[in-house]
Amino acid sequence: MTRTHVYIDGFNLYYGCLKATPFRWLDVAALSRRMLPGHQVRRIKYFTAHVSPRASDPQQPLRQLAYLRALRTLPTVEIHLGHYLSHRASMLLAVPPVNGPRFATVIKTEEKGSDVNLASHLICDAYEDEFDVGVLVTNDSDLLTPVQIVTKRLGKKVGILNPRKHPARVLRDSATFVKRIRPGPLRDSQLPAELRDAQGVIRKPAGW
């Protein structure tokens, strides 16, 4: 079978096809097997960052921590963390009032490091001949260059499991194959409601 590594952009996956669904308690190993028949998925690398609590959703970090604990119970999954920044920024209003201010102060959140980490692991693993096919779960066109390096210079195949309805054109044109992640495989790839690790019981968050 084809030796395959899967590289998951966690935020792209969540906001692309999970946030508005009841399928957020996702078993990424089961999803990979369903989406990639004929592949031997040897390793799954999940790239994300710890989120911060917001006044509108103070429980968000606790849900994320529960999910990351659950993912760590899967033997093929590795988690690689970047960092998450929130800061105040002044931004131009799209439609400012006629006699009002043209700018508004907003809380801007940015996830840093995950795309660089993902690209680095993809290229290093390809160079060290760890896989025949590298599969990216993302729709981030910023990953075009590492995809091109791996396919054109290192001679490996790169697939895209796209969490959004329409793939980024540059990724679609450079990848070996592209598949859209649809609701059916998400529904059929859910973790058990309760799991255990060395710390104790892990429970699926309410609403997930």
- In the chain, the amino acid numbered 113 is G
Whether the Cβ atoms of residue 205 and residue 63 lie closer than 8 Å to each other: yes
**CA end-to-end span of the chain, whole Å?**
34
Gap between the Cα atoms of 118 and 115, Å rounded: 5
| Residue recorded with tokens 């025949």 | 132
Q: Mean pLDDT per 10-residue run, the chain (208 residues)?
A: 96 96 97 98 97 84 97 98 72 82 74 85 98 98 97 98 94 97 98 97 94
Domains of the chain by residue range: 2-82+114-202
Gap between the Cα atoms of 158 and 176, Å rounded: 5
Q: Does this model's pTM top 0.85? A: yes
Q: Which residues make Cβ contacts (< 8 Å) with residue 49, sequence separation at least 6?
A: 11, 81, 82, 83, 84, 111, 112, 113, 114
pLDDT at 101 (0 to 100): 85
Encode pLDDT of 79-121 as tens digits. 999 866 666 778 888 888 888 788 887 766 666 668 999 999 9
Whether the Cβ atoms of residue 208 and residue 24 lie closer than 8 Å to each other: yes
Gap between the Cα atoms of 106 and 89, Å rounded: 5
pLDDT at 107 (0 to 100): 66
pLDDT at 55 (0 to 100): 79
Neighbours of 141 (CB within 10 A): 14
pLDDT at 193 (0 to 100): 97
Report how far apart, in Å, the C-alpha atoms of 193 and of each of 26, 64, 69, 70 are. Answer: 11, 15, 13, 10
Pick the CATH number of 2-82+114-202 from 3.40.50.2000, 3.40.50.620, 3.40.50.2300, 3.40.50.1010: 3.40.50.1010
Q: Which residues pair with 134 in a beta bridge?
A: 5, 158
Q: What mean pLDDT value characterizes the chain?
A: 93
